[in-house]
Structure 1
Amino acid sequence: MDPLFLGAIVAVATILVLFSGVSVALGLLIVSGGFLVIFDGMRSLELMPEILFGKLDNFALLSIPMFIIMGSSISSTRAGADLYEALERWLTRVPGGLVISNLGACALFAAMSGSSPATCAAIGKMGIPEMRKRGYPDGVAAGSIAAGGTLGILIPPSVTMIVYGIATETSIGRLFLAGVLPGLLLVGLFMAWSLYSTWKSGDTNLLNARSYTWKERFEVLPRVVPFLAIILGVLYAMYGGIATPSETAAVGALLCLIIAVVIYKLWHPRDLWVVLRDSTKESVMILFIIAAAGVFSYMLSSLYITQSIAEWIGTLDVNRWVLMGAVNVFLLIAGFFLPPVAVILMAAPILLPIIITAGFDPIWFAVILTINMEIGLISPPVGLNLYVISGIAPDIQLKTILLGSLPFVACMVVAIVLLCLFPGLATWLPDAVMGARQ
């Protein structure tokens, strides 16, 4: 059978299995096992356990549960509320300052937690009611938090970047650095839109904010600075050559737990158990998907599907930017239905050879892919962040949340265009800090 036609059959089968409601990891194993048995016989099943566990035999994977513990310990405290309150006190008199302070809090909390849903929940619980009380439209209040939460998978430390680095054997340190400037670019675009929409509305109620004294502005900072110091310390240790990403993640997780206990009194064993239990569940889910995706990639390679697709793309007489446009459309559609980790692990083995053959930088492409996944987080039918916001503010219709997030989707599209025009936005900082690649 022609490998390209077989690849189409595998794609359809995978979509049908995943849409049946089974977990992503189990669905990938079912598809992989089924096609291996059909084309290679029952003996191919003997290799599946070896491939499954062999995919997890990677020291870099230790950073995933450590960063998740780091984020979970922060999410279990009032750190998000304190971060929001600190920015609100400093930006309260700026036109649209409450939206801007929420977006800034989302960016900083995302850097501390690395989780989009956690960012939405932590900042949204305080930010949405406060914005609505000040007269901001429901769509702006909900949409800005939903969009701000997506920054959790781009701004380092990002679990999504770690997964991409493992799947493509790319430097995780470079990937973290590559996400810094694009992350700040997105924050700037989000804030610029918030300023413009506030100015355009001309509603003076949005400017009727409380004034804070300098004492009130400074008194909240001691509760926020320790967490920010940990983030800076983790990044310094990683890029200063002091420790590997896995080692810095472990130290960061321990320090975040200590601060949660000392500053936020998270000392009760029941509270610590919740942090460790939830972190373990999320870590096992991600690692299971990684292992299953390894089997799926082996199946694609064994049936010569990956190689045939790459060869076919290489023979196409099309402009490489047309090719990149097609890849972006594919990623957008995939992100509408699947979580970012699953999309990366399933698509990376197929897309990376195509990207490299077309002359694109894999580090730069990681940022493009991640922003596409961010769009998926606030787009139906899955749109995880939309449902998180709906749970926080159940009286706001899902349609209103979606419409409120659309301008921020446009900002993400603008960011992708800017990255295509100026790829140095993603590649300059990694090259400047870690040296140019050979």
Structure 2
Amino acid sequence: MDPLVLGGLVALVTILVLFSGVSVAMGLLIVSAGFLVAFDGMRSLELMPEILFGKLDNFALLSIPMFIIMGSAISSTRAGADLYEALERWLTRVPGGLVVSNLGACALFAAMSGSSPATCAAIGKMGIPEMRKRGYPDGVAAGSIAAGGTLGILIPPSVTMIVYGIATETSIGRLFLAGVIPGLMLVGLFMAWSLYSTWRSGEAESLGAGRYSWAERFEILPRVLPFLLIILGVLYAMYGGVATPSETAAVGALLCLVIAMVIYKMWSPRAIWVVLRDSTKESVMILFIIAAAGVFSYMLSSLFITQSIAEWIGTLDVNRWVLMLAVNVFLLIAGFFLPPVAVILMAAPILLPIITAAGFDPIWFAVVLTINMEIGLISPPVGLNLYVINGIAPDISLKTILAGSLPYVACMIIAIILLCLFPGLATWLPEVVMGASL
């Protein structure tokens, strides 16, 4: 069978299997085993265990459970509420300060936790009721938190970036740095739209209603600053040559647990056990997908599907930006149905040779890919963040949440366009801090 036709068949079968309700990892293994047996015979199954476990034989993978523990320790405390309250106290007199506070809290909490659903839940529980009480439209209140939560997979430390780095053998340190400026740019675009939307609605006359003394503003800082210092310490250790990403993640996880115990009195062994249990479950899920994606990639390569697709695209006489547009449309559609980790692990090994052959920087592409995945988090039918917000505020319909989120999707598309026009937004900081890539 022609490899390109076979590739289309693999894509169709994979979609059907994943839509059947099977977990992503098991679905990839089932598809891989089926096609290997059908075209290479039963002997090909002997290599599957070796490939499965070999994919996990990577020291960099240790950073994933460590960063997840770090985020889980923060999420299990009142850190999100305190962060939101601190920003509200400091920005309450700024016109539109409450929506700015919520988006700023989302950005900072995303940087601390690296989890989009956790960010939505932690900030949304306090932010959405307060914004509605102050007269903000439901769409702005819900949409801003749903969109702000997506920043967790872009602003470092990001588990998604780690997965991309491992899948493409790209420097994780450079990927983290590449997400900083685009992440701040997205925060700025979100804030600009939220303030414009609030002003246009004419329902924000009470935005500056809260009044806090200087003593009240400074009183809350000791509960928030330690976590922010840990983030800064993690980044300094990573880029100052003090430690590797895995070592830095381990120290950060330990410090977050200690601060959660000291500041938020999380002394109960049961509470600590819940943090470790939930972190283990999430880590195992991600690592299982990584291992299964390794087998899936081997199957594609073994049947010459990856090579044939890359060769076919290389022969197309199209402008490289037309090619990038097609890649973005593909990623956008894939993100509507699959979680970011699954899309990256399945698509990155195929797309990387194509985008590098077209002259695109793989570090820059990682940021573009991640923003596409962010759009998927607030787009139906999967749109995980939409359901998290609906769970927090069940009286706000999914239709209203989706309508409130769509302008932020436009902001993300604008961010992708800006990155295409000015690639240095993603590549400048890694080159300044770590030097030009080879």
TM over 0.5: yes
Q: Secondary structure, in 3 states, of the residue corresponding to 2:205?
A: helix
Distance 2:261 2:162 in 1: 27
Letter in 2 for 1:185: M
Deviation string, structure 1 residues 273-304 (Cα, Å, up to 9, x no partner): 00000000000000000000000000000000
The reply to whether residue 66 of structure 1 matches residue 66 of structure 2 is: yes
1:201-350 to 2 correspondence within 5 Å? 201-350=201-350
Distance 1:206 1:363 in 2: 44
Shift of 1:204: 4.7
Shift of 1:201: 2.2
Deviation string, structure 1 residues 207-263 (Cα, Å, up to 9, x no partner): 351111111111101100000000000000000001000000000000000000000
Match of 1:386 in 2: 386
Whether the 8 Å CA contact 2:136–2:204 is kept in 1: the answer is no
Shift of 1:203: 2.8
Shift of 1:362: 0.2
CA RMSD of aligned residues (A): 0.6
Deviation string, structure 1 residues 80-105 (Cα, Å, up to 9, x no partner): 00000000011112222111100000
Q: What are the ranges of 5 or more consecutive residues in structure 2 without an aligned counterpart?
A: none
Match of 1:10 in 2: 10
Match of 1:193 in 2: 193
Whether the 8 Å CA contact 1:95–1:199 is kept in 2: the answer is no
Deviation string, structure 1 residues 138-164 (Cα, Å, up to 9, x no partner): 111000000000000000000000000
The reply to whether residue 31 of structure 1 matches residue 34 of structure 2 is: no
Q: Secondary structure, in 3 states, of the residue corresponding to 2:212?
A: coil
Letter in 2 for 1:191: M
Match of 1:377 in 2: 377
Whether the 8 Å CA contact 1:136–1:206 is kept in 2: the answer is no
CA 242–208 in structure 1, closer or farther in 2 if over 3 Å, else same: closer
Letter in 2 for 1:422: F
CA 174–208 in structure 1, closer or farther in 2 if over 3 Å, else same: closer
Q: Secondary structure, in 3 states, of the residue corresponding to 2:162?
A: helix
Distance 1:203 1:36 in 2: 61
1:405-420 to 2 correspondence within 5 Å? 405-420=405-420
Q: How many residues align?
A: 438
TM-score (structure 1 length as normaliser) = 0.99
Letter in 2 for 1:144: S
Letter in 1 for 2:95: P
Letter in 2 for 1:428: W
Match of 2:175 in 1: 175
Distance 2:410 2:164 in 1: 25
Match of 2:398 in 1: 398
Shift of 1:306: 0.3
Whether the 8 Å CA contact 1:95–1:206 is kept in 2: the answer is no
Deviation string, structure 1 residues 328-359 (Cα, Å, up to 9, x no partner): 00000000000000000000111000000000
Deviation string, structure 1 residues 363-421 (Cα, Å, up to 9, x no partner): 00000000000000000000000000010001110000000001111100000000000
Whether the 8 Å CA contact 1:125–1:392 is kept in 2: the answer is yes
TM-score (structure 2 length as normaliser) = 0.99
Letter in 2 for 1:173: G
Distance 1:187 1:204 in 2: 21
Whether the 8 Å CA contact 2:3–2:303 is kept in 1: the answer is yes
Whether the 8 Å CA contact 2:120–2:149 is kept in 1: the answer is yes
Q: Secondary structure, in 3 states, of the residue corresponding to 1:224?
A: helix
